[in-house]
């Protein structure tokens, strides 16, 4: 784990650096408060910091105040190290946002123990953050294909519609349905069907732009949200259709080919969410009735 040591006294800084390295830390040094503040603003800033209180340019307490004023997601665990041992000083340092306080002169055992407390705190916070992120992902993503689930993709579409209405521009959506997918499940089994679903997502994801989004509405039906595409948007969805039609999907049973039908609706900000989805859904059914394996664009919703 990386740790920041900030002390303007060369002797103290060299001693602390040597101790931290001996205890297994990767040390980043700062010669004053300004340099410490600079290091703590970096995207890869150390998650542990030992700051001397009295430093030029910015003292340790001011650095702590600046750090705590940030809205960054991962703030460091900060130990304030100083000869100011009065009760008022301790209160002032902790009120500024220090996580712990060690007075000079200190014992090596006490310092190491307090650093270990900080390390455990950082590691616990990291595990909690990872758990929260995993739960958030599970709540918004389809467990089979990994793309957004129905609720998440609809929420995203609603936000995109609000953006278009507010700032102008356009977007299009495409409701994509795998043709005769029941036949795949009936003939080869549901495991092969799942492999085909994941394969289709892989093909689509490779063709969409970074800011396009793909979500699973349910079963074999998917929704593409493509900002910046207006009435003349069929070329995007035609590429998606053609790519699926030309791909043989590997499965445990045998290579499987499928086609898709896509209903497309474009919006310039005048249509509401339900209206836009209904238009795309109607276009999808017209694509199915017209023979499948095609893109049909809705009339302006």
Residues serving a catalytic function are: 220
- A 10 A CB-CB count for 7 gives 25
Angle at the Cα of 133 (from 148 to 67), degrees rounded to 5? 130
CA distance 71 to 75: 9
Asked whether the beta carbons of 297 and 262 are under 8 A apart, the reply is no
Cα Rg, the chain, nearest whole Å: 29
Closest among 96, 100, 97, 122 to 111, alpha carbons compared: 100
> Which runs of E-coded beta strand occur in 150-190?
171-178
- Given the DSSP bridges, would you call strands 48-52 and 2-6 parallel, antiparallel or unpaired? parallel
CA distance 163 to 60: 43
CA distance 26 to 38: 18
Task: Write the burial class of residue 34 (CB in 10 Å: 0-12 exposed, 13-18 middle, 19+ buried).
Answer: middle
CA distance 275 to 293: 24
């Amino acid at each position: 784990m990386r740790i920041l040591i900030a002390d303007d006294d060369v002797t103290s800084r060299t001693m602390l650096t040597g101790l931290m390295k001996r205890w297994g830390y990767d040390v980043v040094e700062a010669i004053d408060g300004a340099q410490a503040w600079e290091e703590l603003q970096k995207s890869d800033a150390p998650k542990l910091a030992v700051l001397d209180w009295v430093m030029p340019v910015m003292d340790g307490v001011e650095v702590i105040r600046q750090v705590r004023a940030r809205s960054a997601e991962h703030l460091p665990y900060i130990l304030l190290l100083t000869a100011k041992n009065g009760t008022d000083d301790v209160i002032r340092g902790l009120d500024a946002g220090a996580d712990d306080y060690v007075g000079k002169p200190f014992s090596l055992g006490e310092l190491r123990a307090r650093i270990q407390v900080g390390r455990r705190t950082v590691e616990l916070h990291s595990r909690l953050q990872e758990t929260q992120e995993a739960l958030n992902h599970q709540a918004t993503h389809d467990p089979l294909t990994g793309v957004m689930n129905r609720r998440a993709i609809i929420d995203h579409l609603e936000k995109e519609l609000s953006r278009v209405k507010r700032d102008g521009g356009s977007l299009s959506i495409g409701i994509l349905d795998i043709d005769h997918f029941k036949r795949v499940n009936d003939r080869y089994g549901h495991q092969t069907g799942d492999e085909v679903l994941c394969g289709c997502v892989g093909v689509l994801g490779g063709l969409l732009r970074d800011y396009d989004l793909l979500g699973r509405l349910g079963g074999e039906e998917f929704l593409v949200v493509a900002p910046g595409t207006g009435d003349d948007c069929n070329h995007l969805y035609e590429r998606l259709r053609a790519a699926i039609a030309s791909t043989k999907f590997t499965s445990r049973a045998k290579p499987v080919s499928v086609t898709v039908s896509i209903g497309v609706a474009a919006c310039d900000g005048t249509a509401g969410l339900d209206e836009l989805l209904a238009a795309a859904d109607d276009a999808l059914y017209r694509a199915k009735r017209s023979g499948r394996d095609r893109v049909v664009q809705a009339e302006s919703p």
